[in-house]
Amino acid sequence: MELSHRLKSIPPYVFAEIDKKRQAAIARGVDVINLGIGDPDQPTPRHIVEAMHDAVENPVNHHYPPFGGSKEYKQAIVKWCNKRFGIELNADTEVTSLIGSKEGLHHTIMAFIDKGDINIIPDPAYPVYRTSTILAGGEPYFMPLTPENKFIPDLDAIPEAVLKKAKLLMLNYPGNPTAGIADLAFFEKAVAFCKKHNILLVHDLAYSEMTYDGYKAPSILEVKGAKEIAVELHSLSKTYNMTGWRIGFAVGNAEAVAAIAKIKSNVDTDIFKPIQLAAIAAFEGPTDHIDFCNNLYIERRDLAVERLKALGWPVQPIKATFYMWLPTPKGMSSADFSALMLDKAGIVVPPGTAYGPNGEGFFRMSLCLDKARMAEAFDRMAQHSITYDMLQAKV
Ligand code: MLT
| Cα 375 to Cα 367: distance, rounded to the nearest angstrom | 11
Give which of 382, 316, 317 is closest to 347, Cα–Cα: 382
Instruction: Determine if ligand 1 sits within 6 Å of the CB of residue 13.
Output: no
pLDDT given for residue 392 in this prediction: 81
Q: Are 78 and 89 in contact (CB under 8 A)?
A: yes
pLDDT given for residue 234 in this prediction: 98
Instruction: Determine if ligand 1 sits within 6 Å of the CB of residue 15.
Output: yes
Q: What is the pLDDT of residues 128-145, one digit of tens each?
A: 999 999 999 999 999 999
Residue spans of the chain under pLDDT 70: 393-395
Rounded to the nearest angstrom, the gap between the alpha carbon of residue 314 and the centroid of all alpha carbons in its chain is: 24
Q: Could you tell me the distance, in angstroms and rounded to a whole number, from the CA of residue 278 to the centre of ligand 1?
A: 22
Instruction: Determine if ligand 1 sits within 6 Å of the CB of residue 102.
Output: yes
Q: Domain extents for the chain? A: 5-43+288-394, 46-284
From 102, 172, 242, 368, mutation site for ligand 1 pocket: most ligand atoms within 8 A of C-beta: 102
Nearest CA to ligand 1 atom 3: 38
pLDDT given for residue 393 in this prediction: 64
- Specify whether the backbone of 251 is left (phi greater than 0), alpha (psi in -120 to 50) or beta: beta
Specify the CATH number for 46-284; select among 3.20.20.70, 3.10.150.10, 3.30.360.10, 3.40.640.10: 3.40.640.10
pLDDT given for residue 394 in this prediction: 60
Q: Could you tell me the distance, in angstroms and rounded to a whole number, from the CA of residue 14 to the centre of ligand 1?
A: 9
Rounded to the nearest angstrom, the gap between the alpha carbon of residue 183 and the centroid of all alpha carbons in its chain is: 18
Instruction: Determine if ligand 1 sits within 6 Å of the CB of residue 49.
Output: no
Q: Could you tell me the distance, in angstroms and rounded to a whole number, from the CA of residue 159 to the centre of ligand 1?
A: 31
pTM of the predicted protein model? 0.96
pLDDT given for residue 14 in this prediction: 86
Shortest-distance atom of ligand 1 to CA 13 = 9
Instruction: Determine if ligand 1 sits within 6 Å of the CB of residue 19.
Output: no
For the domain made up of 5-43+288-394, give the CATH fold: Aspartate Aminotransferase, domain 1 (3.90.1150)
Rounded to the nearest angstrom, the gap between the alpha carbon of residue 139 and the centroid of all alpha carbons in its chain is: 21
Q: In sequence order, what DSSP letters do the residues of 7-34 get, joined into one string?
A: HHTSPPPHHHHHHHHHHHHHHTT---EE
Q: Are 69 and 202 in contact (CB under 8 A)?
A: no
pLDDT given for residue 31 in this prediction: 97
- In degrees rounded to 5, what are phi and psi of residue 252? 125, -140
- In degrees rounded to 5, what are phi and psi of residue 383? -60, -35
